[in-house]
Chains A and B, each alone.
Chain A
């Protein structure tokens, strides 16, 4: 049985924040879950996917976040408790349904999780999704700890049903990817079949209906605000006059700093866990009891600006600060020492921080950037494209996935990236705006997520570029989730469709479509050359299963290669493809037999044919 299905209330389990969130949803009786995977949210859905194989929970990997939220919206309006998870930028994709779903509301509880990523550990930006609360008018809950993440997720479903609105559960990486011991709660039985009652004058958002629904949304906003005033997620610690208002993980750093600085008798902390709408009375009463206030929040000054406005309404003139010089930054995540330093400075507390060692005499340590795995098929494809494009001036728009790492040397294949699907559409723009040869890269999952519409645009508007679809049969970067092109029988799952990328691309009207096997180096180069010569949109589909995924499916037949003494040290293998299975022993190139998977790409490009399979040991 999946550990998150354990029906043992009171038991303590070491859980990752994302597991605690999944558990909270299960305890709330979630019946329907949709997602598009994205770090730092991915383990929530991965756990619910597995739970769905052992229970009557409905779970789907939707093609993108907009689709996921729309599927969820229907389930919730059929009365089912529904959970929709995504990373922060995913909510941009789902923003269209979000904004009007707030007008329509829900019948069954709908919790929309957005996992923000301050410091951008695995994201293209660090936008602060608390603004979506204000933008949509929906309530936001923000847990500070792993334990609270479980509890808050469970209660978010109740809150959603009380308000008749979706609730946004906003986490940050340090909640998602922290672990702690969590006491399990009771599992509410799931209600798995819903019903939809026709009510077009509340569900069909033509202008006349929406004008009325907007009134209701604002009424719900007031209702939510009243609930935030008394919510147990909004609480104060301490009775001092030095006020600190905080949310999420900042609360942890503030609590530790109060202890470390020995100022517990002087401070008064207001932790806002039900953070939108902000509770004005609670905040005004808090301000009234303080002589000065510091707002500790990662990201944008969302609370700070609201608190200052409340102070103005209440005619209070106490100092209120948050972001600024020698205060908190809008950049990156916070850490305990930084919060302690800012608090000590703001409240004038003597403070002797730990002294960092003098590292000026430490030699430069070679960087260890993330890299495409040994034998990764993306490397082979990039090599083939690079060779085929030699002599041309090129622009390489790329996209989001493991293959983004191909922008690093020695491959250096990746010139422009803004968001999921942008490779295809920016290729349209670059090919019109410049005279350079544009070659765009996109993965299979990202192609289904948001590459299709760009490709339709390209064919319709008669653009001129080559799109390389890197089809490795899985959504690799986020942990090998399936996507619409995946053979689900590999996962021992039945009852799924499977969409052929080639058939879709042809159906869209792309005239030049070639499927290549990237480990066949020369054939691949020739195929790419032909695609580059084609005027108009051409598509190369490069098919080879992700080696990590193949290994996990026990489909990887490893046959390691070795460098023989024919090697004349040209080092094309290292300098051109940069596979991490290579290392230098003295001045000689060697292959680590434990890392090499035997893709044989290096063997095909070695000018001396010096790289050969490791000979099988002779019997006896």
Chain B
């Protein structure tokens, strides 16, 4: 089976580990081999959290620079920072709602202009899907569902060998019961956002 390599970058607390778990479960339901890796520990104290998910026939659990087929960024400046994982054929999906790092507040860096971020990514990759996932998550009923909104967009692209219904089933079984309805709505809103992008 063809290998598809997905990188998810997020800021600690944005729920990318849950997103990976849901994708893993959906892969199992789809009969697709999956391996993933993530960075724990000190990186989780407000730093960047990166997950690599490899679908298909591969033994590696990490993804080298310039070898991601898809990059999903939960925060726009982190999406841009992870561009080293992309190549000209990569599809990039990013949330456009910024979470400026603290270094900006103490004057040690300037947050990049969002239009420039999008122009740069567009120019260097196959396709960019960019929208405000926080807005969609809020509309779905929980600002914390940004991760599921972005999974909706990811599945819409059809790049992963995972049918929509299996991802929906994974949301039902792997996210907290109280949030399943909100998450299903969040998934749909992300799916629609990508379809309209």
Contact = CB atoms under 8 A, between A and B. Distances in A.
Contacts of B86: 356-357
Interface string B66-102: 1100000000011011011011100000000000111
Interface string A219-234: 0000000000000000
Interface in A335-388: 335-338, 353-359, 361-373
A251 B61 CA distance: 12
A542 interface: no
B40 interface: yes
Give the interface SS of chain A, mostly helix, strand, loop or mixed. Answer: loop
Contact of B24 (A179, A249, A373): A179
A584 interface: yes
A121 B77 CA distance: 22
10 contacts: A180-B36, A252-B60, A253-B60, A256-B58, A335-B62, A356-B84, A357-B125, A359-B124, A364-B110, A583-B100
Q: How large is the interface on A (under 10, 10 to 19, 20 to 34, 35 or more residues)?
A: 35 or more
Contact of A355 (B46, B66, B102, B104): B66
A461 B147 CA distance: 56
A365 B80 contact: yes
A363 B112 contact: yes
A477 interface: yes
Given A14-B24, A366-B108, 10 more contacts: A42-B41, A43-B40, A122-B41, A178-B36, A253-B59, A253-B60, A356-B65, A366-B103, A370-B12, A477-B42
A355 B105 CA distance: 35
A337 B65 contact: yes
Interface string A461-480: 00000000000000001100
B41 A39 contact: yes
A580 B104 contact: no
Interface in A146-194: 146, 174, 177-181
Given A121-B43, A578-B102, A357 B67 contact: no
Interface of A: 12, 14, 39-40, 42-43, 121-122, 144-146, 174, 177-181, 249, 251-253, 255-256, 259, 335-338, 353-359, 361-373, 402, 405, 409-410, 477-478, 574-575, 578, 580, 582-584, 589
B46 A574 contact: no
B109 interface: yes
Contacts of A369: 47, 103
B36 A179 contact: yes
Interface of B: 11-12, 20-21, 24-25, 28, 34-48, 57-67, 77-78, 80-81, 83-84, 86-88, 100-106, 108-112, 116, 120, 124-125
A575 B60 contact: no
B40 A39 contact: yes
B87 A356 contact: yes
Which 5 residue pairs spanning A and B have beta carbons closest together? A366-B109, A122-B41, A337-B64, A252-B59, A39-B41
B39 A365 contact: no
Nearest to B42: A122
A354 B36 contact: no
Contacts of B101: 366-368
A366 B124 contact: no
Contact of A409 (B57, B106, B124): B106
B44 A584 contact: no
